Chains A and B, each alone.
Chain A
Amino acid sequence: MMPELPLWAALPAAVLLIVGGLLTLIGSIGLLRLPNFFMRIHSVSMGNSLGVGCVLLASMLIASALAHRPVIHELLITVFMVFTAPITMIVLMQAAIKRTKPPRK
């Protein structure tokens, strides 16, 4: 059984989840639609930045409302994402530059 969730938490959390999900979905659609690696790498970071941010905010809201106290350790996920995701992307970018002739004019 789900415990009762107050409306002030449920509504914004739902909106945040929908927005975050949509952003991540659009980012993933970009993987299919965009023509080359150098463009596709940008669309992934949509889900990686704001997408995950929205979901974590929703998680903090719900957890805090259920526990009747602020639950903020989701912030750590944000911190770790912000620190680690760019490193992966920079490494991928370097690998792509080394392996392919970048589309330049």
Chain B
Amino acid sequence: MMRIPVLFPLGLAVLWLVLTESLSPGHILLGLAVGFGMVLSFQKLRPVRPRPKRWHVAIRLALMVLIDIIKSNIAVGRVVLGLTGGRTVKSEFLDIPLDLRDPHGLSVLAMILTATPGTVWSGLAKDSSMLRLHVLDLQDPDAWIRTIKTRYERPLIQIFEGERSE
């Protein structure tokens, strides 16, 4: 099955145009050539094609991640400066059962969790059923699991595995 991908090369072309800061026809052409050339020549390396759906969910997720990054920056800052109100900081590993199976969804989840201060992705079970996370300040494991499953995993399932969601 040889379908020519469109979205990714177009994205690369836009990247090229932003990088060169121009909209001249020459640069548009060059960007498209680089984008399509790269994606087509690398296709063998990407056996599974992502099929993202529901862009409005993706935009909402991005905004949510932005808010969470700001919040967790403040939280981690408080831990570093010792402003936790006297309680001890419990830094531990946390195992989270996952329903998400799409490799692209999983990599986005890894990116979100690691880019957010306070949590670092530290491993995935062979069958991607269990995610191990290191949390800087783990107070209520169940609340963490709930938050991650509803805030991040559900939208990612909707985006990357559209047909399975309700």
Let me know if B77 is at the binding interface, CB within 8 A.
Answer: yes
Query: Contacting A86 at CB < 8 Å: which of B18, B80, B121?
Result: B121
* Distance, CA A38 to CA B118, complexed state (A): 10
How many pairs of A and B residues are in contact by the CB < 8 Å rule?
Answer: 103
**Cβ-defined contact, B136 with A97, below 8 A:** no
From A69, which residue of chain B is reached at the shortest CB distance?
B21
B91 within 8 A of A: yes
Sort chain B's interface into a size bin: 20 to 34
Does A34 reach chain B (CB closer than 8 Å)?
yes
* Among A26, A50, A71, A90, contact of B110 (Cβ-Cβ < 8 Å): A90
Q: Is the Cβ of B91 less than 8 Å from the Cβ of A38?
A: yes
Contact residues of A between 66 and 87, Cβ < 8 Å to B: 71-73, 75-76, 79, 82-83, 85-86
Q: How many residues of A contact B (CB 8 A)?
A: 38
A45:B18 contact, CB within 8 angstroms: no
Least CB distance, B55 to chain A, in whole angstroms: 17
A49 vs B70: C-alpha distance in the bound complex, in angstroms?
9
What's the minimum C-beta distance from A84 to chain B, rounded to whole angstroms?
A: 10
In angstroms, Cα B69 to Cα A86, docked, is 13
Given contacts A27-B80, A76-B19, A86-B115, 9 further A-B contacts (CB under 8 A): A30-B76, A39-B89, A39-B136, A42-B119, A43-B80, A50-B70, A73-B21, A85-B114, A93-B123
**Chain A residues with a Cβ under 8 A of chain B:** 23, 26-27, 29-30, 33-34, 36, 38-39, 41-43, 45-46, 48-50, 53, 71-73, 75-76, 79, 82-83, 85-86, 89-90, 93-94, 97, 102-105
